[in-house]
Amino acid sequence: MSTDAALRPDTAPDPTPAPREPRLPWIAGRAPARPAPGAAFHSVSAATAALLGLVALGALIHEPVLIPPLAASAALVHCAPALPLAQPRSVIVGHLLGAAAGYAVAAVAAHGSAWAAALAAGITLALTTLARTPHSPACATAVVIVLQAPAPGRFVPLLFGATVLLVLTAFAASRIRRAAPRYPAYWW
């Protein structure tokens, strides 16, 4: 008798195909699932409304209030509200630490120096890490200050007010839609 499994009728090959592996498995990655259309619309429209509010406030007081780091902060608080980077403590204190680092570096370095701007961003990252207020857009705030040298008497109060406004709009937006994740996860 042959011991060849192919000749035995009780071990016939399974006709169902094996599940296909992705052609490029490294591209598939571990990204989170795509949000539901309603949730995505809510997050994006709330962030856009907050940014438009900053522009309206700037137009009202004749000062530029919307700066790129605040747009990044709005994206974080509205689209990833559970992250530590998006919590009020990190948003508000992080930007204020970034402003402090930016003004400190600008005081001792050449105005508009890209080297000084990079140093200010690194110092901001260190300060926010030590203060347990991680907020990556705060590093960009330091860069803006070194490269553009805004007057601190005007810039810092506007920055503080804008960050508080972003936090409050995220809080309100999370209460409007019943299925939205509650923001903040913690205040302080």
Nearest CA among 86, 89, 142, 154 for reference residue 118: 142
Cβ count near 34 (within 10 Å): 8
What's the pLDDT at 178? 82
CA–chain centroid gap for 107, Å, is: 29
Mean local confidence (pLDDT), 92-116: 94
pLDDT tens string 123-136: 999 999 999 999 99
Mean local confidence (pLDDT), 39-48: 89
Mean local confidence (pLDDT), 10-35: 65
Mean local confidence (pLDDT), 167-173: 94
pLDDT at 162 over 60: yes
CB 40 within 8 A of CB 76: no
- Helix, strand, coil fractions of the chain, as percent rounded to 5: 65, 0, 35
Q: Give the span between the Cα atoms of 118 and 105, in whole angstroms.
A: 10
DSSP 66: -
Q: Give the span between the Cα atoms of 65 and 58, in whole angstroms.
A: 5
What's the pLDDT at 84? 93
Q: What pTM does this model have?
A: 0.81
Distances (CA, A) of 19 to 16, 22, 105, 130: 9, 10, 57, 48
CB 53 within 8 A of CB 152: no
